[in-house]
């Protein structure tokens, strides 16, 4: 039994994958708790798809995809909010416009760029086993930034999330809080894309956070429970990927979904 636990980590690439997987499993539900409370689950999916052009540019220039995905994600998050506020269209509409346009642009760039050996499947489904040491350091740095920023704005972010009208009345800059949370969401999605891929990062962002929401009575407690569930799902998915030769992203998402189903069943029995 012991050898099954430690055998994968005789390889350096598995150690790097473990670090990034735990980061993804913990960070996604923490920011996902705000996303669920604000009813913006579609925003996370849209951001994940919209950073594709930035990642393709990085591949074309020979950089790590993180180098371009971070500013691209932050810029796109700001663009979504800007379109909604300045044009009068609903937020869902602005998100859908940017989502479709940027993802289409990314696929077009990927199809027409010469000399690229990028596997589209790796981008869509994730390839955590291929992360470099630099990717690990960048992911750790981004995670530290997100945690520090959330700690700094948590109180006003919760106020603006659950009662934006009152928050505006007492002088909280609700619009600035919205942009800040969108920026942090973009950073977390960039970290998550490495492990879960563009398509499945949504599952890691929402599903563990939703399970935490079902099992905890307080908002912060739900964030912590969601982070634990996400981390366990990420680690278990990594083991499944290693021993069963399946993509790591889908494995993580399936385990997270299974845990949510158990949490929902428990909640139903407890009522």
pLDDT at 40: 77
Residue 227 covered by a domain: yes
CA distance 271 to 268: 5
Residue 165 covered by a domain: yes
CB 49 within 8 A of CB 102: yes
Q: What is the pLDDT of residues 61-96, one digit of tens each?
A: 777 766 677 777 778 777 777 776 777 777 777 778
Q: What is the pLDDT of residues 164-206, one digit of tens each?
A: 888 888 888 888 888 888 788 878 887 787 667 776 788 888 9
Domains held by the chain: number: 1
CA distance 122 to 144: 26
Question: Whose CA is closest to 180, among 63, 38, 42?
Answer: 38
Residue 137 covered by a domain: yes
Which residue segment(s) compose the domain that 260 sits in?
A: 12-264
| Helix ranges, the chain (H) | 2-6, 12-37, 41-50, 52-61, 65-87, 91-112, 120-125, 133-162, 164-169, 174-215, 219-244, 248-270
Residue 94 covered by a domain: yes
CA distance 31 to 146: 9
Residue 26 covered by a domain: yes
Q: What is the pTM of this model?
A: 0.84
CA distance 22 to 54: 25
The 10 Å Cβ neighbour count of residue 152 is 11
Q: What is the CATH number of the domain that holds 177?
A: 1.10.3470.10
Mean pLDDT in order along the chain per 10 residues (271 residues): 77 86 90 87 78 81 72 77 72 79 86 73 73 83 89 90 87 85 82 74 88 90 94 91 84 91 85 60
Residue 34 covered by a domain: yes
Residue 5 covered by a domain: no
Residue 153 covered by a domain: yes
């Amino acid at each position: 039994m012991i050898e099954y636990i430690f055998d994968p980590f005789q390889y350096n690439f598995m150690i790097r994958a473990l670090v990034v997987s735990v980061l993804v499993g913990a960070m996604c539900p923490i920011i996902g708790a705000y996303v669920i409370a604000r009813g913006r689950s579609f925003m996370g999916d849209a951001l994940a798809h919209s950073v594709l052009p930035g990642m393709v540019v990085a591949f074309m220039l020979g950089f790590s995809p993180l180098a371009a995905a971070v500013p691209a994600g932050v810029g796109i998050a700001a663009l979504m909010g800007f379109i909604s506020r300045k044009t009068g269209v609903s937020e869902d509409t602005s998100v859908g416009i940017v989502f479709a346009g940027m993802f289409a642009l990314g696929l077009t760039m990927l199809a027409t760029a010469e000399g690229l050996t990028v596997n589209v499947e790796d981008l869509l489904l994730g390839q955590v086993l291929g992360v470099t040491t630099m990717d690990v350091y960048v992911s750790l740095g981004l995670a530290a930034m997100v945690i520090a920023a959330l700690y700094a704005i948590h109180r006003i972010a919760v106020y603006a999330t659950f009662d934006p009208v009152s928050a505006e009345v007492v002088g909280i800059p609700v619009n600035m809080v919205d942009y800040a949370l969108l920026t942090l969401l973009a950073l977390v999605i960039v970290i998550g894309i490495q492990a879960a891929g563009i398509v499945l990062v949504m599952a890691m962002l929402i599903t563990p956070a939703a399970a935490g929401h079902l099992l905890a009575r307080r908002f912060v407690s739900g964030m912590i429970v969601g982070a634990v569930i996400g981390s366990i799902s990420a680690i278990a998915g990594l083991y499944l990927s290693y021993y069963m030769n399946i993509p790591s992203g889908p494995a993580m998402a399936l385990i997270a979904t299974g845990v949510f189903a158990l949490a929902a069943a428990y909640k139903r029995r407890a009522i």
